[in-house]
Amino acid sequence: MNTQVPMLKISHLSKTFGKGTVNEHVALKDVTLSLEKGDFVTIIGSNGAGKSTLFNAICGTYLPDRGSIRLGGEDITFLPEYKRARRIGRVFQDPMKGTAPGMTIEENLALAYTRAHSGPFAPALTKKKAALFRQALARFNMGLEDRMKTKVGLLSGGQRQVVTLLMCTIVMPDLLLLDEHTAALDPATAEKIMEITNDIVRENHLTTLMITHNMKQALATGSRTIMMDSGSIILSLEGKARKEMTMDGLMKLYTEKKKEEFATDRILLSE
């Protein structure tokens, strides 16, 4: 792929829910963001800041009101959800969301694997594929490789997230979206999943966006951190400034930005 073209380019993206009603809510306000191939960007921000809406717009769950999204140079702004899913892997916060509970581990993986590889009537699972999946799971050291024929519904949250992560990356996507994918797990498991995530992203040079509420994790992971508030990107940290940033510093920056906004609100109201 041409290295001159950014892997993900979001330009002036806006989305308002319930326009013209009392419930009008500006979820995204003129968001512009560009990721080069291999960039790993973490996103922080309070609830309702627009982080998940941004992901939903990228995936096509909602169509934006204005702006464009380009993936590897191709305009995907209005492409149907299932068509862009071929190139975008997404792991949700809820471990229940990413896998089919009534199907076995290998069937789930086969589903993710064959979507890029075979015609509709090709057998979804062959011995060769099963061996490949076993091998891929074995490296996570979670013992899942010995439970290939277990239904995913019987696994723990952490185990399901590992399966989901592997499903998203078994056919390398152009873009990996992680939506607080460790938030529902206990601390030890969360750390383990984060480790696995880092390994996969680094080894495959994956372009990745990760939403997190854990500021420490946001600063420690990846190469850039952006902060969203009320639908806009209000802060972007990288390089040295990011390295030197502390959690206290980040909190301070956040409150300052909030105050600024509050001040303008007050001016508006007093007029």
Partner 1 sequence: MLYVTALQEGFLYGLLAIGVFISLRVLNIPDLTTEGSFGFGNAVAAATAVLGYPRLSLLFALLAGVAAGFTTGILQTKLKVHPVLAGIITMSGLYSINLMVRHGPNLAIGDQALFKIAYAVLGEDASRDDKKIAGAVLAAILCIGVIVLMILFFKTHLGMCIRATGDNPDMVRASSINVDRTKIIGLCISNGLIALSGALIAHYVGYSDASSSSGTLIYGLAAVIIGEALFSLFPRGRRGVTLGLVSAVCGSIIYKMIVTFVVDAELFGDNSANLMKLLCAVIVAITLIIPAMKDTVATWKNKREARRA
Residue 224: Cβ-neighbour burial (10 angstroms; 0-12, 13-18, 19+) = middle
154 binds partner 1 (CB under 8 A): yes
Run of H or E residues at 192: helix 187-204
Q: How far is the CB of 26 from partner 1 (least distance, A)?
A: 25
82 binds partner 1 (CB under 8 A): yes
51 binds partner 1 (CB under 8 A): no
64 binds partner 1 (CB under 8 A): no
Binding region for partner 1 (CB under 8 A) out of 3-11, 90-98, 200-208, 221-229: 90-98
**Binds partner 1 (CB under 8 A): choice among 52, 53, 93, 114:** 114
Q: Which is nearer to partner 1, 3 or 82 (CB)?
A: 82
**Binds partner 1 (CB under 8 A): choice among 98, 158, 222, 231:** 98
Residue 35's contacts (CB-CB under 8 Å, 6 or more residues apart) are: 6, 7, 8, 9, 41, 175, 207, 209
For residue 197, which of 25, 18, 42 has the smallest C-alpha distance? 42
Dig out the tokens for 177 from the structure.
């979206």
Cα gap 207→83, rounded to integer Å: 19
Instruction: Provide the binding-site residues for partner 1, judged by CB under 8 A.
Output: 59, 80-83, 85-86, 90, 92, 96-104, 107-108, 110-112, 114-116, 118-125, 150-151, 154, 167
